[in-house]
Structure 1
Amino acid sequence: MSYRRGWTAFFLFLLAMINYMDRIALSIAAKPIAAEFHLSAVAMGYLFSSFIWSYALFLLPMGYLIDRFGPRKMAGAGIFVWSAATALTAAVSSFSGLLVARLVMGAGESSSNPVGAKVIRQWFPASERGMVMAIFNSGSYAGPAICSVILGAIVAVWGWRASFIIAGGIGFVWLAAWLLFFRTPEETKWLSDAERRKIVEERETGQVAKSGDDQSGGGLRQLIKSPSLWGIALTQGCNVYTQYLFLTWLPSYLQTTRNLSIKDTGWLTATPYAVSVLLCIASGYLSDLYLKKGGVNSGRRRNAVALALVIAAVILSVPVVDNIYLLMAVLSISLTGIASTTSLNFSLLNDLLPNSKDVAKAIAFVVVGGNIFGMIAPIATGYVVAATGSYNWAFVIAGILLIVGALTTLTLTRRPISPTHSAVRRAHLCSAKTA
């Protein structure tokens, strides 16, 4: 990959990192917030989940807006909204205030994944897609790794309100750099002609020409008729359930069951996230190598997705692990599988999607599917902990879903995501009449 294209990948990495820093800020500060507002485990479960409600609600409209107005404008608008909501969380004085702040944050964050998928389709040859998607997605794990340490220390020294102000402020720095430097490859002046030509010629997989699909892109109504799109969305859901279990409840789990301080919890939470960043990027690179013989649009990446999910299912062993260092190893392996699954699954969507005009809509649909499971995870875990006094069944449920996800991707993602034959035929007839 050229270092010039690498700058765009770095922008996306930072976007995901800031996104997840703001998400986990509540988890890091959960103990003092619960004490100040007298919140039970069930109430905290709903609060952890709340940002996903608005996030999922706005994803599909955001996908349409990104396809229409482009990722530059919509990424800027999204990070402005969610960063402001994060910073203003410091000013709330009630549970309802916390809830509203998280809902606004979730609405803004709905831009992140569709923007990432759109930019990757615009900026990178198909042969680099797996690695770049892994770089983008690894930011989702770098954010919690960095945030757990830094915000954990800030909460311990200056209190939880200061941590939200700092977390929110970082997003505005990224926004200024994004608006200053980012353009499409066709509009970017600092690209050489040779690199611009390589990007434009190699960013499509060739499926559009083979399938005869309309270059203008199809509607979501046509896309959702594809079993492969549903398979990718269901796989994402099984994976995201465990991701949000970690994101929302891992600090509380370590503090409650291992009797750790907030500061110590920050370091231990950061460890598995940091490990998963490096291994996630490596898995994306290896998946690109794996596809060189069979071709990007062969759909063979599903095998890598299934393998990553099986690796993540090591979470089933958490209830029987007592040693803290062994526990960190198990959590690191599981998080690596989860991180790899997300990036590989998004890459599989791009592999199977013929028309780049549909990327943001399709990725929004998949992320909605994932976050339906994601919004259930914090609430279900709250009820499980309240009912059993233990986290054991929370980890078992997550592990079972990961196995289900592996079976789903192997069976339901075997065809390209394209309009039905009848829809293609109607499009061709309309074109012929117009001509």
Structure 2
Amino acid sequence: MTVPPSSGPEASSSKPTRARWVIGLFLCLGTAISYVDRANLSVGLPFMEADLDINKAMTGVLLAAFFWTYAPGQLLGGRLVDLVGPRIAAGFATLWWSFFTAINAVAGGLATLLIFRLGLGIGESVAPSAFGKVVGRWFPLRERARAAALYDSGSRLGTALAFPIVSLIIYAFGWRASFVVAGGLGVLWVIGWFGYYRDPEKHRFANDAEKRLIREGGARIRADHDDTPQPTVRWRDLLRFRTVWGMMLGFFALNFAFYFFVTWFPSYLVEARGMDLLKIAWVGVIPPLVAFFCEFGGGALSDRLTRRYGPTKGRKIPIVSAMVLASSIALAAIVPSAAVAVGLLSLSMGCLAVAAASIWSLPADVAPSEGTVGSVGGLQNFASNVAGIICPIFFGLFAGTGSSAFVLPLVVTGGIVIVGAACYLLICRTFEPLQLPQTRTTQPEGAVR
């Protein structure tokens, strides 16, 4: 691809500008807002149940409902991103989910909450593939895990911010106001996104040196307006590769543990550890905040190992070792001290974040072409978010049975994480671009099948 000269203020400079890292910050903030929006219900539910007459069993169903549309939406979302590009897909998806967040303020009962939760899942399902594609386009291979860490750290930041922000809004104004505020954050992000984001070759703040760094460093570059025929790959073509299956199964296991923190962690602090609203507002911040900083370390480690050993070892070493350590979530179920339990949960979530920094790099690492990064990411994310359907219901089966309600679910979760580490180690072979025996090409508008 020929990249036109930059017209930005630093076009003549030989030092690369850092527009790509501003883009990465946008991805981080967008992800953070999405997690504030989805975690809003988790934080508010212990205080909404009485108002809306929701029992504990239905609480698990309600928390899982988001994933009924979010998980399958990953597949269609990946195709949509490959078709229209990440700029349009991410912007309009964020507007969609912001609406379905704010409208929770008028919920009158379980039925309306379920409908709004399903709508939220549809909108948020587009973001992972869109943001993953942006990472592939904007960042060379040697920076990709750090960029993925910056992007995905938004999930930890959003989860952390949801506790104090939502709790304090509920305390001051009630739970309905918290949804309106959260929805407004997404609208503000969209305004900034459409104003700033362009692909590298058309970005006014990226100079020639930065564009060259991106292009020659192995970024998966292709502009949304580029009409060059691209290979098209069906899902069943991708599913013939054991590496894709390993990515799907391994990410399912990681997210099974992570979604405990997004859905049931506030209730765990209330029911199993006896904390009140103001206390969980601050204690609940600790594990996701630890994870937020750990993810940057995981990204830097992965990129360093990749430069030294190549992408296969560079990704596998941090993923497998961190997931083994993340199984410490099981120990948090059996220790008597609340402080020790929170420490173990912080260790677990931090290690999940270290592994995630490499995992989010994989679609751009293994996709057969730039035009299929979204589809590979969609498959990986679909499987991982099936865990979001199962995890809340699984924990909900034991909720309300006293302080020991979380013991068995957390022990089982620790075992699932170990199995996930084995999937990355044994099922995945190499993290290199997949080689298809026959590749079809077509114009971009015909890419969706």
TM-score class, shorter-chain normalisation, is over 0.9
Equivalent-residue separation in structure 1 for 2:333 and 2:162 (angstroms): 26
2:326 matched to which residue of 1?
312
**Deviation (angstroms), 1:90:** 0.3
Aligned to 1:146: 161
User: Which residue of structure 1 lines up, in the alignment, with residue 129 of structure 2?
Assistant: 114
Q: Which residue number in structure 2 is paired with residue 412 of structure 1? A: 427
**Which residue does 2:393 correspond to in 1?**
379
2:435 and 2:305 mapped to 1: Cα distance? 28
Q: 2:270 aligns with which of 255, 265, 279?
A: 255
Counterpart of 2:364 in structure 1: which amino acid? N
Partner of 2:347: 333
1:387 Cα deviation (Å)? 6.5
Q: Distance in 2 between matches of 1:138 and 1:281?
A: 8
2:47 pairs with 1:32: yes
- Cα contact 2:332–2:342 (8 A) shared by 1: no
**Distance in 1 (alpha carbons) for counterparts of 2:102 and 2:419:** 38
- 127 and 78 in structure 1: CA distance in 2 versus 1, 3 angstrom threshold: same
Q: TM-score, normalised by structure 2?
A: 0.89
Counterpart residue number, 1:20 = 35
Matches within 5 A, 1:49-88: 49-88=64-103
- Does structure 2 retain, via aligned residues, the 8 Å contact 1:141–1:276? yes
- Please list the CA deviations of residues 55-107 of structure 1 after superposition, one character each: whole Å capped at 9, or x if unmatched: 11221111111111100100011100100110010011111000001100010
Matched to 2:269, the amino acid is L
Shift in CA distance, 410/361, structure 1 to aligned 2, threshold 3 Å: same
Q: How many pairs does the alignment contain?
A: 417
3-state SS of paired residue (1:190): coil
RMSD: 1.8
The letter for the 2-side match of 1:376 is I
SS at 1:131 equivalent: helix
Q: Which amino acid aligns with 2:434?
A: S
Aligned to 1:156: 171
Distance 2:66 2:149 in 1: 24
Q: Is residue 45 of structure 1 aligned with residue 60 of structure 2?
A: yes
2:30, 2:240 → 1: CA distance? 31
Separation (CA, whole Å) in 1 of partners of 2:281 and 2:260: 16
Look up the SS of the partner of 1:52 in the other structure.
Answer: helix
CA deviation vs aligned residue, 1:260-290 (integer Å, no higher than 9, x gap): 1112111111111111101111111011111
Q: Answer yes or no: is the 8 Å Cα contact 1:146–1:270 preserved in 2.
A: yes
2:340 is equivalent to residue 322 of structure 1: no
Aligned AA for 1:358? T
Describe the SS at the equivalent of 2:51: helix
CA distance in 2, matches of 1:287, 1:57: 29
Pair 383,417 (structure 1): closer, same or farther in 2 beyond 3 Å: farther
Structure 2 gaps of 5+ residues are 1-15, 222-228, 442-449
Q: Once structures 1 and 2 are overlaid, which stretch shifts more, 97-106 or 380-389?
A: 380-389
Q: Distance in 2 between matches of 1:220 and 1:102?
A: 27
- More helix, by proportion: 1
Aligned pairs (5 A) from 1:207-246: 216-246=231-261
Q: Secondary structure at the match of 1:186?
A: helix
Post-superposition shift, 1:163? 0.5
Deviation per CA, 1:361-418: give whole Å up to 9, x if none: 1101101001112210000110123568611011011100000001111011113452
Alpha-carbon distance between aligned partners in 2 of 1:27 and 1:2, rounded to the nearest angstrom? 40
Report if the CA contact (8 A) 2:323-2:355 is conserved: yes
2:140 is aligned with 1:125 = yes
State how far apart, in whole Å, the 2-side matches of 1:349 and 1:310 are: 22
Say whether the 8 Å CA contact 2:73–2:125 is kept in structure 1.
Answer: yes
Deviates more, 1:230-239 or 1:377-386: 377-386
What is the alpha-carbon distance in structure 2 between the residues aligned to residue 92 and residue 316 of structure 1? 36
Kindly indicate whether the alpha-carbon contact (under 8 Å) linking 1:299 and 1:348 is maintained by their aligned counterparts in 2: no
- CA distance, structure 2, for counterparts of residue 384 and residue 378 of structure 1: 10
Asked if 2 retains the 8 angstrom alpha-carbon contact of 1:28 and 1:152, the reply is: yes
Distance 2:187 2:21 in 1: 22
CA contact (8 A) 2:103 2:180 kept: yes
In structure 2, do the counterparts of structure 1 residues 49 and 2 end up closer, same or farther at CA, with 3 Å as the change threshold? farther
Distance 1:376 1:343 in 2: 24
Give CA-to-partner distance per residue, 1:308-366, whole Å, 9 cap, x none. 11111011101222222222211111001122222211213332334221110110110
* Aligned counterpart, 2:296: 281
Change (3 A) 1:2 1:49: farther
Q: 8 Å contact 1:90–1:161 — kept in the other structure? A: yes
